[in-house]
Amino acid sequence: MPIRPGGRTRVRVYRVDAGQALARPDSLATEEPLEIRIETTGRAFRLAVTMRTPGQDFDLAAGFLHGEGVVASAGDIRRLAYCADAELTEEERFNVVTVTLRQGLTVDLRQLERHFFTTSACGVCGKASLDQLDLRGLAPVKDGPRVTPELLTSLPATLRAAQGLFEETGGLHAAGLFDTQGRLIALREDVGRHNALDKLIGWALQEGRLPLSEHIVLVSGRASYELLQKGLAAGLPILCAVSAPSSLAVDLARRFGMTLVGFLRDGRFNVYTGLERIALAEGPT
């Protein structure tokens, strides 16, 4: 049986204290490449390679394809499987996922090739990136829920308490899906912020929970354009981050009617767009 890589790796470290070095075991977050392939019209194509923490790889692949507009629903995916190529080693087989698309699903492979395999381009700007989302047919999110500041400030502690791998390794990002009562519905961890959210949305896609129009997502790092793009594709009205957003993330949230919360920690937060979804005791001053 091939050995599937785990989410943690045991290593030996030397802890130095008061000039003395003491050998001790430690746990690290595993980082391995995952190659995502799509199979359509009887042919398989290498789409992307991402560095990730092994675990929930099928969720990661499904969420990645959904965020990039390759699939719109679970029905667009006929099969998810690890690669069985004879030339791969046992370890490598669990680092390649092939997504077989449903028969008849049209995929513009030339556009995907330009998007994923080009390393630099001329004439690309933030506005062009936002315009591309319009061209994909992504619409502003629906009104969604109104939530209290107290509910939002309770989320980081709930997320942290559920981060089992982070507790062991201290080296993982997390994305948590919450309902409007502040209950944690699902959690995914990964060395990559984008991967954690892809795993979460991929799970929701396969569980038939999209769009996430009555939910909140909290991510453990900063809020980038890519994270907002994935949230928008999933119909998410409120995305919160414990750190800062980027300028383009704010532009995207404003353009598509999302509520973007940053620096959500220590009982307070900043609202960058979508203040109308926050049920304040008093209006802004």
Q: Which residues are catalytic?
A: 122
Closest CA to 211 of 56, 66, 59, 61: 66
Per 3-state DSSP, what percentage of the chain is helix, strand, and coil (rounded to 5)? 30, 30, 35
Tell me how far apart the alpha carbons of residues 127 and 19 are, in angstroms, rounded to a whole number: 54
Parallel/antiparallel/unpaired status of strands 20-29 and 8-17: antiparallel
The count of C-alpha atoms lying within 13 angstroms of the C-alpha of 57, restricted to the half-sphere facing its C-beta, is 29
Tell me how far apart the alpha carbons of residues 95 and 113 are, in angstroms, rounded to a whole number: 21
Burial class (CB in 10 A: 0-12, 13-18, 19+), 225: buried
